[in-house]
Amino acid sequence: MLVLVVGPSGAGKDTLLGAVKAHLADDRRFRFVRRAVTRPPYGDAANEESVDEAEFYAGRDAAAYAFWWQAHGIFYGVPADIANDLGAGRVVIASVSRTVLAEAAARFSVRVVEITAPHDVLARRLAARGREDAAQVAERLVRSVPLPAGLDVTVIVNDGSVVEGARALLAHLREIADGASRLAATPRQGSAP
């Protein structure tokens, strides 16, 4: 199962993913994707591989990415080798743009986790990051891309502590992995038990 994590800037996606990744570090049922990104590293560089645009284009042209997108002048790519993990029955988790959900769902078995927070919480978090001025923060807050219809979506409202948000995400990911394990262990109809 490919679990695609989306949500507005300031919702805490990377924070919750980092907390959950630490809890699942020894659970081989999960893989947290390290995206290629055309910007210098910042924050949790363990989730991203910084590449220059020439490297990114070369990777894209060589089909090194299962899918890719551009946002705010930055290119992002999810490595094509996720197909190997998915084929082995692992739960693969990636933070992505909403713009690639339909493409990913056309190629893989996908579940979407939308991490969000109330408008005032998003505004406060974006301002605290200090990466953008007030006008840029306001622009981010009004930007909205709808989710494609027909996807299996779970919404996690991350308006409390990191522990609370991570607990909700962790429970959901374990539920997905447990369901996949049960499905894999069920004999196919007509096959020997």
Q: Which range of residues forms the domain containing residue 133? A: 2-180
Q: Would you state the pLDDT for residue 122?
A: 79
For residue 163, pLDDT beyond 80: yes
Q: How many domains does the chain have?
A: 1
pLDDT exceeds 90 at position 187: no
Q: Is the pLDDT of residue 7 over 60?
A: yes
- CATH number of the domain at 133, please: 3.40.50.300
What does R_g of the chain's alpha carbons equal in angstroms? 17
pTM value is 0.84
Query: What whole-number distance in Å separates Cα of residue 98 and Cα of residue 114?
Result: 10
Within a domain: residue 190? no
Residue 134, both tokens: 């007030």
Q: Determine, yes or no, domain membership for 116.
A: yes
State the pLDDT at residue 190: 47
192 part of a folded domain: no
Q: Is residue 189 part of a domain?
A: no
Q: 59 in a domain, yes or no?
A: yes
41-45, 102-106, 152-156: which range is least confident on average? 41-45
Specify if 150 maps to a domain.
Answer: yes
As a whole number, mean pLDDT of residues 50-73 equals 94
Q: Is the pLDDT of residue 59 over 80?
A: yes
- CB atoms near residue 63 (< 10 Å): 8
Residues 144, 162: Cα–Cα separation, whole Å? 24
State the pLDDT confidence band at 104, using cuts at 50, 70 and 90: very high
Task: Select the more confidently predicted residue: 62 or 72.
Answer: 62
Asked whether the beta carbons of 180 and 1 are under 8 A apart, the reply is yes
Contact 17, 32 (CB under 8 A): yes
Residue 20, both tokens:
């959950």
Please determine, for residue 129, whether its predicted confidence score (pLDDT) is greater than 80: no
Residue 193 lies in a domain: no
Poorest-pLDDT segment among 43-47, 78-82, 120-124: 43-47
